[in-house]
Amino acid sequence: MEFTLPNDAQLPPASAERLAEFGRDHALDPRVMFALDHALNEHLQNVVDHSTARTAFLELQVRDGAVHVTVTDDGDTFDPLAAPPADVAADPDSRPVGGLGVHMMRKLTDQLLYRRTAAGNQLRMVKKLG
Amino acid sequence: MSLSQITRGDESEFFVKGRVDGPVANQLEVEVLAAIRTPVRRIYINLAEANFLCSAGIRVLLQYHRKMKAEGRELLVSRTSPEIDQILELTGFRDTLVEKI
């Protein structure tokens, strides 16, 4: 499945609907869908809140025993994976809450890959089936 | 998503159903802030019927948990669904935010 959406407040919910449709079409495990739903939402909310992109192009694929979700936004260069990892071992009463979204993406997927392409920022999330 | 609230004495409990995504987290923050401005001593967020919790939602819970604690009051998650439990666990905030029964 491929689609392009404008970068506005509807980008995360509209993409979640398409992802759910993709999951139904491919009879994907609810646990896989749960993880990808959260990971994709975190990334797209970052795009909405922080990027200069006008559009986001999404590709959803099942191949090689995994679901591949690739998001390409046409904003200025920004690598979300460059941020330092959240320190979940720190005191939870004083630990900074920044970086939580990327931490969730890392924990909920098997692989996250960022690269800058001619089309823009490309983030690929890979979640193994089963 | 639906959000409802029951106040009994000095306790207030919010019942959140469905997806807690960015817009819902904003709505929850407005409602929690309004409750904090009242004299309630304890605020509970019941997530037993929620099935999605984004980082913005966790930030709302954590921010006002800390604020209430600093004032000698309490804001805790009273119940979780298995999905919400998983998300809170992986962020490391489960033990801080969920009420110990």
Does the pLDDT at position A98 exceed 80?
A: no
- How far does A93 lie from chain B, in Å, by closest CA? 7
d(CA A105, CA A45): 12
When scoring B21, B55, B58, B83 by the number of chain A Cβ atoms within 10 A, the one with the most, hence best to mutate, is B55
Instruction: Give the total number of structural domains in chain B.
Output: 1
First vs last Cα of chain A: how many Å apart? 21
Nearest by Cα to B92 from A35, A110, A93:
A93
Domain that holds residue A53: 2-128
- What is the per-residue pLDDT for A83? 82
Q: Are strands A111-117 and A120-128 parallel, antiparallel or unpaired?
A: antiparallel
Percent pLDDT > 90 in chain A is 82
Domain that holds residue B45: 2-97
- What is the per-residue pLDDT for B77? 97
As a whole number, mean pLDDT of residues B3-18 equals 94
- Report pLDDT digits (tens) over B34-48: 999 999 999 999 999
* CATH code where residue A91 lies: 3.30.565.10
As a whole number, mean pLDDT of residues B64-74 equals 95
Residue A24 contacts residue A84 (beta carbons within 8 Å)? no
**Contact flag B23-A9 (C-beta cutoff 8 Å):** yes
Does the pLDDT at position A120 exceed 90?
A: yes
Residue B66 sits at the chain A interface (C-beta within 8 Å): yes
CA torsion angle for B86, B88, B91, B92 (degrees, to 10)?
Answer: -110
* Residue A12's pLDDT band (cuts 50, 70, 90): very high
Q: Considering only CB atoms, which chain A residues are within 8 Å of B69?
A: 93
Residue of B nearest to A98 (CA): B59
- How far does A34 lie from chain B, in Å, by closest CA? 8
Residue type, B33: L
Does the pLDDT at position A84 exceed 90?
A: no
Nearest by Cα to A17 from A32, A37, A31:
A37
* Residue A21's pLDDT band (cuts 50, 70, 90): very high
**Contact flag A104-B91 (C-beta cutoff 8 Å):** yes
**Contact flag B54-A107 (C-beta cutoff 8 Å):** no
Q: Considering only CB atoms, which chain B residues are within 8 Å of A109?
A: none
Q: Which residues contact B29 (CB under 8 A, 6 or more apart)?
A: B60, B64
* Residue A2's pLDDT band (cuts 50, 70, 90): very high
d(CA A73, CA A12): 13
- What is the per-residue pLDDT for A92? 75
As a whole number, mean pLDDT of residues B4-9 equals 92
Does the pLDDT at position A90 exceed 90?
A: no
Instruction: Give the total number of structural domains in chain A.
Output: 1
Residue B21 sits at the chain A interface (C-beta within 8 Å): yes
Instruction: Please state the length of chain B.
Output: 101
* CATH code where residue B88 lies: 3.30.750.24
The neighbour count for residue A122, using CB atoms within 10 Å, is 17
